[in-house]
Amino acid sequence: MRNRYSAIVQRDGKWFVAFCSEVPEANGQGKTREECLQNLAAAIELVLDYRREQGAAHAPRGAEQTSVLV
C-alpha cells in the first residue's frame, strides 16, 4: 500500500532539510534534494510503524486489529 505525503523542503547551507506536515515527527536531511526526500520517506515509515505497534500494544483486550485502505 502506498500513500502520498507532503514534503516541505528547503536548503540550509550545504544541506537540504525536509519535514512532513501530516507526520510532524518525521524529518529528513541530505546533501542532495533526492537524498533528503529518501531520508524523509524512511522517517515517515519508521514513525508510522512505531505508531502502529504502540496502538496494537495499548488496544483494549479483545479488540480486533484490522486495516483500512486509503
Which sequence spans correspond to the domains of the chain?
Answer: 8-57
pLDDT of amino acid 1: 54
Q: Is residue 2's pLDDT more than 80?
A: no
Q: What is the pLDDT of residues 7-59, one digit of tens each?
A: 999 999 999 999 999 999 999 999 999 999 999 999 999 999 999 999 888 98
User: 34 Cβ partners below 8 Å, 6+ apart?
Assistant: none
pLDDT of amino acid 65: 86
pLDDT of amino acid 44: 97
H/E element, 50: helix 33-57
Contact present, 36 and 42 (Cβ < 8 Å): no
